[in-house]
């Protein structure tokens, strides 16, 4: 009997947490929209901006292209570039480069945003991710786009408003902000969209104080 009561209490607490977080997300969207509408009305900021966010990786590189029109954020295209571990490293990097160049040339984004490489205890993983980042920066440079880098902490703060947010919270916020029917999969895709949103929000903040990123 006690175990059933405890289980009910845990479920109730979890339901309240989800409800509270959903309300927080909706309020965050509403506040961002009001701030950006005010910014546009005062003649600040771009009314139409395209950002390509990229989550680097050798096996999976996530990408997310978003458009911001006035107060509206929408996903234009998103997905991932997969490479086979059975291929030589140079061929895997070549595939990442070629597919990114296709995206740059087809959609012509205004900005490119990439998640910074954070410290990883696995040196081999850090090296392969670093190689992918280098290819991403080269592809952006080839098309004349500067690369804007953001730490995971900055992305969480910009998207959720909390630097220690869980991955599921970030994914929920990405889905909510972009009006998607479901959370993009794999996780690398949602991460890339989060980086793009982070840059859009950072650009808004810079616009409000009269700066540019």
Predicted structure pTM score? 0.77
CA distances from 137 to 39, 100, 142, 144 (A): 31, 10, 9, 10
Share of residues in the chain with pLDDT > 90 (%): 60
CATH 3.30.1180.20 holds for 2-208: no
pLDDT in tens, 57-95: 889 999 999 999 987 899 999 999 999 999 999 999 999
Q: What is the pLDDT of residue 48?
A: 86
Q: What is the pLDDT of residue 116?
A: 87
Higher local confidence (pLDDT), 44 or 113 = 113
Q: What is the pLDDT of residue 40?
A: 40
pLDDT in tens, 7-32: 555 545 444 444 454 444 445 444 54
pLDDT band, residue 204 (cuts 50/70/90):
low
Q: What is the pLDDT of residue 9?
A: 57
* Of residues 147, 171, 123, 144, the one with CA closest to residue 21: 171
On the question of pLDDT at 3 being above 70, the answer is no
Q: What is the pLDDT of residue 10?
A: 53
Q: Output the DSSP codes for 50-113.
A: EEEEEE--SSEEEEEEEEEETTEEEEEEEEEEE--TTS-HHHHHHHHHHHHHHHHHHH--SEEE
On the question of pLDDT at 1 being above 60, the answer is no
Calculate the average pLDDT of the chain: 81
* DSSP element (H, E) containing 49: strand 48-55
Higher local confidence (pLDDT), 198 or 13 = 198
The stretch 128-138 carries a mean pLDDT of: 94
The stretch 167-196 carries a mean pLDDT of: 96
Q: Which residues are catalytic?
A: 55, 115, 188
Residue 166 phi, psi (nearest 5): -75, 160
Q: What is the pLDDT of residue 58?
A: 82
Q: What is the pLDDT of residue 209?
A: 47
């Amino acid at each position: 009997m006690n175990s059933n009561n405890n289980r009910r209490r845990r479920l109730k607490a979890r339901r309240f947490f989800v409800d509270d977080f959903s309300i927080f997300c909706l309020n965050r969207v509403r506040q961002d929209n009001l701030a950006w509408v005010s910014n546009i009305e005062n003649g600040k900021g771009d009314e139409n901006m395209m950002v390509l966010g990229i989550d680097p990786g050798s096996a999976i590189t996530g990408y997310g292209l978003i458009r911001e029109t006035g107060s509206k954020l929408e996903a234009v295209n998103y997905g991932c570039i997969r490479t086979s571990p059975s291929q030589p490293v140079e061929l895997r990097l070549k595939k990442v480069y070629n597919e990114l160049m296709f995206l740059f040339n087809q959609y012509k984004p205004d900005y490119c945003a990439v998640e910074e490489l954070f410290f990883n205890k696995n040196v081999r993983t850090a090296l392969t991710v670093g190689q992918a980042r280098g290819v991403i920066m080269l592809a952006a440079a080839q098309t004349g786009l500067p690369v804007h880098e953001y730490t995971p902490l900055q992305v969480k703060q910009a998207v959720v408003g909390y630097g220690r947010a869980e991955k599921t919270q970030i994914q929920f916020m990405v889905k909510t902000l972009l009006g998607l029917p479901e959370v993009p999969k794999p996780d690398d895709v949602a991460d890339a969209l989060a980086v793009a949103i982070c840059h859009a929000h950072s650009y808004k903040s810079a616009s409000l104080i009269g700066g540019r990123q």
